[in-house]
Amino acid sequence: MTTPSGPSRRQAGIALAGLWFVVVLAIGDAGDLTTESSRMLAIFGAAVVLWVTEAIPLSATSIMVILAEILLVSDEAIVATSEGFDAPPYSGFFATLAHPVLMLFLGGFVLADAAAKFRLDRNLAGVMLKPFGQSPRSILAGLMTITAVLSMFMSNTATTAAMIAVVLPVTARLERDDPIRTALVLAVPVAANIGGLGTPVGSPPNAIALGRLADEGISIDFLKWMMLAVPIMLVVLVFGWLLLTRLYPANATTVDVRVGGEFDRSGHAQILYVVFAMTILGWITEPLHGIPSAVVGFVPVVVLLTTNVIGVDDLQKINWHVLWLVGGGIALGNGVGATGLDDWLVALFDWGSLSTAILAAALALLALTMSTLISNSATANLMVPIGVSLAMSPAVDLDPVLAGVIVALSCSLAMGLPISTPPNAIAYATGSIQPRDLARTGITIGLFGLVLVVVIAPPIWDRLGLL
Amino acid sequence: MNELVILVVEDEPEVRDAIVRDLESLGPKIRIDQAESVDDAEGALREAKADNDSIGLVLADHRLPGRTGVDLLVSLHENPDTRHIRKVLITGQAGHQDTIRAINQAALDHYIAKPWEPEILLEIVVDQLTGYVIDRGIDRLAYLDVLDAPRLLEALADGPGRPD
């Protein structure tokens, strides 16, 4: 996440993107670069600049990618495509905006918003926190667990907003110089970021990777993603907890966190509880019934809307722009594949000379670094097509699933700066933590997670038959 | 949009100082401008506009030399440019008619009777400014550390947030 750009950066971003676009289009085919792949390279480069500089809103870049692909490389292109090029139908580029993965995400958004509306999230948090008692270390563990669990199903940002609101009154009752105050405020964004790893609907990078893989014919169901990611999430969470308790030992002997209240017993609330539980059950039992998670996720949208549990005004509050942002990323990956730009990118370098491990580490480190500075989702939009293209090439010995998962998880592990993610920005804005607090915990946790994802997990995934 | 400003309009220097002191904890993020009359306040409003600062709250005494505090609030309400400013009357001497006029013609947001409790004054000001920040679409995170954080966070979660 970056702050909205100033006018000069905005102008520079637009100028650079425009320049790249025009120059690459003007050069056209050259060497191994076909007419269509050169057009796609023009689109890709411009998207890189616009997503990095945030010269225009992230979602605006996404729909611009879709429009440019339709106008330049689809069967309805306004400029002629080469003989022998099998132009993808333009409707396919539009269809990325309703890609099954986006429908899955829509289901997640609707459930999360409905849960927030009936305060199910806060009340569940209260129930889950009870067993953790009052000692500072265990309260911190409880807070992180709850935040991570909520963040698996709600957006990291909404989870952080809800949980920081819980934490602030607690810190206000503690002594001003007690380090546990810092730990409590830091724990929320850390756990929310990490929780986003856990499920396909946890955070947009997961959806971007799943969408790209699905379009390559590799389907990963909800449960399989969780089996890949939840162990990582748990280990990183425990590491984060150990780090926070070590760096910020409490002076207070008890910490009293109050969250949640009476569960809403109205008819609408009860419908929501049932729908919520059934949807999650449906998602994790996909291997048993075989109904795709996107279809399962669409059911709560239909049921909650038809039963008036959520209204049209609630529907308006859905973060549609996030869905568009992800859709543009999927469209970008499709365009790169359809035009053969992926082959050209792969041929740029003799990948065979690199070991798989080094390649995986390089992808992960690049994603982590970029995502520390810019939006996680935008990073995934750029890095997932590159990673998966590389992995799909016969010249590279890297499993495509591994490439997609590594990139997606690395994007979410970036949390070193206040601007790295909206959860960090929220915690920083409370005024209770300093940038150095975020830096030393966020960077340590990010690098630890990276080692786990790149070095330790792949052989285990392989042995368990997950790859 | 540069600074968020509270305008205190009070003619007695000791009382004005006391109000400013009670609101001290909001600084330096939130600036407090002072005026001793309605003319003076109008000057401060013009100046803030020229500097692109945004006056979020006018805290006015009623009895002032020349035009009254209620006159000021009514004129703020009648002008579309200043209608959105939160209006609080802090007074011991507004009569029945003045008070009715402030409510009906100035859409008064709050009435504080003198003498006031410092904590309650601060609470009311924070409450009004938080509402102002949310209504005006100002960045919810910008004043999270001085205004009503839970309410701002609720508004943040409700709004079109940034993607993860």
DSSP string, A224-280: HHHHHHHHHHHHHHHHHHHHHHHHS--S-S--------SPP-SHHHHHHHHHHHHHH
Triad A394, A232, A287: Cα angle to 5°:
70
Q: Cβ contact (<8 Å) for B154 and A317?
A: no
Q: Chain B partners of A421 at a C-beta cutoff of 8 Å?
A: 164
Interface of A with B in 153-192 (CB under 8 A): 155-158, 161-162, 164-165, 168-169
Domain ranges of chain A: 1-95+332-337, 100-316
User: Residue A437 has which token pair?
Assistant: 């607090």
Residue of B nearest to A158 (CA): B157
- For residue A367, the model assigns a pLDDT of 97
CATH number for the segment(s) B4-158: 3.40.50.2300
CA distance A135 to chain B (A): 24
CA B101 to the chain's CA centroid = 18
Q: Cβ contact (<8 Å) for A430 and B145?
A: yes
- For residue A395, the model assigns a pLDDT of 83
- For residue A1, the model assigns a pLDDT of 40
Cα(A155)–Cα(B162) distance, integer angstroms: 10
- For residue A382, the model assigns a pLDDT of 95
Sheet-wide strand order for B4-9: B30-35, B4-9, B54-60, B86-91, B110-113
Tell whether the model's pLDDT for residue B94 goes beyond 90: no
Tell whether the model's pLDDT for residue B164 goes beyond 90: no
Tell whether the model's pLDDT for residue B163 goes beyond 90: no
Q: In this structure, are residues A93 and A64 in contact, taking their beta carbons and an 8 Å threshold?
A: no
Residue of A nearest to B153 (CA): A161
Tell whether the model's pLDDT for residue B155 goes beyond 80: yes
Q: In this structure, are residues A325 and A376 in contact, taking their beta carbons and an 8 Å threshold?
A: no
* Secondary-structure percent of chain B, ordered helix, strand, coil, rounded to 5: 45, 20, 35
CA A317 to the chain's CA centroid = 20
Interface of A with B in 200-239 (CB under 8 A): 203-205
Q: Cβ contact (<8 Å) for B163 and A164?
A: no
Tell whether the model's pLDDT for residue B102 goes beyond 70: yes
Q: Chain B partners of A205 at a C-beta cutoff of 8 Å?
A: 164
- For residue A258, the model assigns a pLDDT of 87
Triad A52, A375, A354: Cα angle to 5°:
75
Q: In this structure, are residues A386 and A342 in contact, taking their beta carbons and an 8 Å threshold?
A: no
Q: Chain B partners of A161 at a C-beta cutoff of 8 Å?
A: 153-154, 156-157, 161
- For residue A349, the model assigns a pLDDT of 82
- For residue A354, the model assigns a pLDDT of 82
Local confidence pLDDT in tens for the 467 residues of chain A = 444 557 888 999 999 999 999 999 999 998 889 999 999 999 999 999 999 999 999 999 999 999 999 999 999 999 999 988 999 999 999 999 999 999 999 999 999 999 999 999 999 999 999 999 999 999 999 999 999 999 999 999 999 999 999 999 999 999 999 999 999 999 999 999 999 999 999 999 999 999 999 999 999 999 999 999 999 999 999 999 999 999 999 999 999 888 888 999 999 999 999 999 999 999 999 999 999 999 999 999 999 999 999 999 999 889 999 999 999 999 999 999 999 999 898 888 887 778 888 999 999 999 999 999 999 999 999 999 999 999 998 888 899 999 999 999 999 999 999 999 999 999 999 999 999 999 999 999 999 999 999 999 999 999 999 98
Q: In this structure, are residues A42 and A25 in contact, taking their beta carbons and an 8 Å threshold?
A: yes
Instruction: Tell whether A409 lies on the interface with B, counting CB pairs under 8 A.
Output: no
Residue of A nearest to B145 (CA): A430
Task: Count CB pairs under 8 A between chains A and B.
Answer: 76
- For residue A353, the model assigns a pLDDT of 79
> What is the sign, positive or negative, of the torsion defined by CA atoms of B151, B157, B158, B160?
positive
